[in-house]
Chains A and B, each alone.
Chain A
Amino acid sequence: MAWTGRRSRPLPQAAARQEGRSTIEGLLEHQKAWEAFAACAVSVIPVLKKQMEAVTQQTERASMDLMVHIRAMTSPATTSRPTDTSANLSKIVMAMQFQDITQQKLEHVAQALDQWHKHLHALLKGPHDERAKQEIAALQRLEQSYTMEEERRLHAAALVPDYQEPVPMETEQMEAESESVTLF
């Protein structure tokens, strides 16, 4: 029985070769774009994790400070000395500011995640999408979104294996206090 279906015309050899080459080139570009994404993820994930761990530590420290100073302020020995009460109140106000500081830190982590989301979205459209390149470039400039010295320090430290955040000492806190004011 004769075959009656339409048979596609064979491509000329050169055209088939060309089509094969562009498919491979496309796949390679895809691979390159996803590799760039993976490389970025490998460096950014530990940084974001470190920043979030720092928030937890700071919350813990602030709660502890609040407890210590409230206890000190309400102890009979302190209540009779107004200067001690005032000093403890100052410490309480300082500890309570953890909310503003941790909020900013978490906002910067959220910004990075948003950037990441945008990048993935653009990447799914294909490696030729110019936005994918722009978004990954923005993610690599994550450090520019930081407002705190501690964030910059943590960012650099997160790229070093086995980094341990130093426990702040009382003397360091006192030095930091005097350095916290600049008059122009």
Chain B
Amino acid sequence: MNKTALVVDDSPTMRQMVALTLSNAGFTVVEAEDGKDAVKKVAAGPKMDIVVTDLNMPEMDGISLIKELRKMAAFRFTPILMLTTESAADKKQAGKEAGATGWIVKPFNPELMLKVIAKVLPA
């Protein structure tokens, strides 16, 4: 697989767990510690095929990050998954309105996450 994933989370352990799951599945992984760092990395880095982001982060949260990414032509149709402990319906709605493709509640099951990614990734 020649696909690149952007993993955004302020928790280094969480980031590494997601990165490990994705790299084991063949993805090249770019990590960012919050929304602001993610925006900086996508401006300088390669094209991303999928984004997995946390919701609550310092500097720039996940919802604001999605809004920023959706403004960029390269991210208009990129699948963006929110990975968070938050499961409230109003937050999910806010994510949907911002342009998230899906919502995964932590703790995530790596096998389930890969199935979801396979479903949302364009063939």
Q: Which residues of A contact B (CB under 8 A)?
A: 86-87, 89-90, 93-101, 103-104, 147-149, 177, 179-184
Measured between beta carbons, the chain B residues less than 8 angstroms from A95 are 107
Residues 66-117 (chain B) with a chain A CB within 8 angstroms:
84-88, 92, 95-96, 100-112, 116
Interface of B toward A, CB cutoff 8 Å: 11, 13-14, 17, 20-21, 55-56, 84-88, 92, 95-96, 100-112, 116, 119-120
Q: Are A147 and B56 in contact (CB under 8 A)?
A: yes
A184–B96 Cα distance when bound, in Å, is 6
Give complex CA distance A68, B92 in Å: 34
A–B complex contacts, Cβ < 8 Å, 20 sampled: A90-B110, A93-B109, A94-B107, A97-B14, A97-B17, A99-B13, A100-B11, A101-B85, A101-B107, A104-B56, A147-B55, A149-B87, A177-B109, A180-B112, A181-B102, A181-B105, A183-B101, A183-B116, A183-B119, A183-B120
For B106, list chain A residues within 8 Å (CB).
Answer: 97, 100-101
Partner of B108, one of A94, A98, A183, A184: A94
B86 contacts A147, C-beta separation under 8 Å: yes
Chain A contact residues: helix, strand, loop or mixed: helix
Q: Which of A87, A89, A90, A149 contacts B88 (CB 8 A)?
A: A149
Chain B residues closer than 8 Å to A182, beta-carbon distance: 92, 102-103
Q: Are B11 and A184 in contact (CB under 8 A)?
A: no
Tell whether, in the assembled complex, residue A100 and residue B13 are in contact, meaning their CB atoms are under 8 Å apart.
yes
Residues of chain A within 8 A of B86, CB atoms compared: 147-148
Q: How far is the CA of A87 from the CA of B112 in the complex (A)?
A: 11
CA distance A101 to B107 in the complex (A): 8
**Are B85 and A148 interface neighbours, CB within 8 A?**
yes
What's the Cα separation between A99 and B106 when bound, in Å? 11
Instruction: Write out the residue numbers on chain B whose beta carbons fall within 8 Å of the beta carbon of A104.
Output: 56, 85
Closest residue of chain B to A96 (Cβ to Cβ) is B17
Known contacts A182-B92, A183-B101, A184-B102; decide if A98 and B107 are in contact (CB<8 Å). yes
Q: Is the CB of B17 within 8 A of A93?
A: yes
In the complex, besides A87-B111, A104-B85, 8 extra interface pairs with C-beta distance below 8 angstroms are A93-B108, A97-B17, A100-B14, A180-B105, A180-B112, A183-B103, A184-B96, A184-B103
